[in-house]
Amino acid sequence: MASDPFIDTLVGDLKPVSARSRRRDMLLLLGFGAVELLLVVLMLGMRPDMPLAAHDMAFWWKLAGLLAIFLLSGAALVMGLYPAGRLPRFRASLAGLVITLLLSGWLIDAAGRGDLAARLMPAEGLGCVLETLTAGLPMLVLVGWLAGRSAPTLLARTGLSAGLAAAAAGGLAFVLSCPHNDPLYVVVWYGGSMALLALVGWGLLPRLLRW
């Protein structure tokens, strides 16, 4: 059968592409997050009371919580980069993780410390939001690039997981430089900045990826 010249024209410039690997994509996210952490520590310095912070349960709660959100949302993102791919029960798992972190943070903070304004420190908290967003944006660009080279079909879910992964990476990059462990401070300012970046990913990436 003779080939159609029009079809030949369409496919003439096609080049083979390398097969994607979920493991490679996840390692790329982890590696980029580690580089971000190193750069932020080099630029801002490590918190001066780190030896004391290492004995504070709230510090490990903050670190473990951000890492858990990053790993869960990163796994959901990597799964979503493939046609019809998704992490089973991602939203339920995310909701359960958030509830667990809030309850454990409340238990750590059961005694409370000082009045609300003294604990939240709005001026420093807004700076924390800015630092976390700034540290998270490069990760959002990376995951947007990954998504653009892939074939996600569940665009809203992919955008949400991308925004959360970027936000958690930004928080992790800033966590060793931030001197505040108060669970209330962490929930309000870290949580607020993560929600903002998650909304950006959820609202923006589907528009960029839609065919």
Residue 3 included in any domain: no
Q: Is residue 48 part of a domain?
A: yes
- Given this model, what pLDDT does residue 98 score? 93
Residue 12 falls inside a structural domain: no
Q: Residue 55: its pLDDT value, please? A: 86
pLDDT, position 189 = 92
**Of 146, 136, 158, nearest to 204 (Cα)?**
158
Q: Is residue 5 part of a domain?
A: no
Structure tokens at 190: 């870290």
- The residue ranges of the chain whose pLDDT is under 70 are 1-20, 83-85, 110-114, 151, 209-211
Of 120, 181, 145, 125, nearest to 28 by C-alpha is 145
Which tokens sit at 208? Answer: 């960029």
pLDDT of amino acid 17: 44
Structural domain containing residue 106: 22-209
Q: How far apart are CA 17 and CA 20, in angstroms?
A: 9
CA distance 79 to 159: 12
**159: Cα within 13 Å, side-chain hemisphere:** 17
Q: Are 144 and 205 in contact (CB under 8 A)?
A: yes
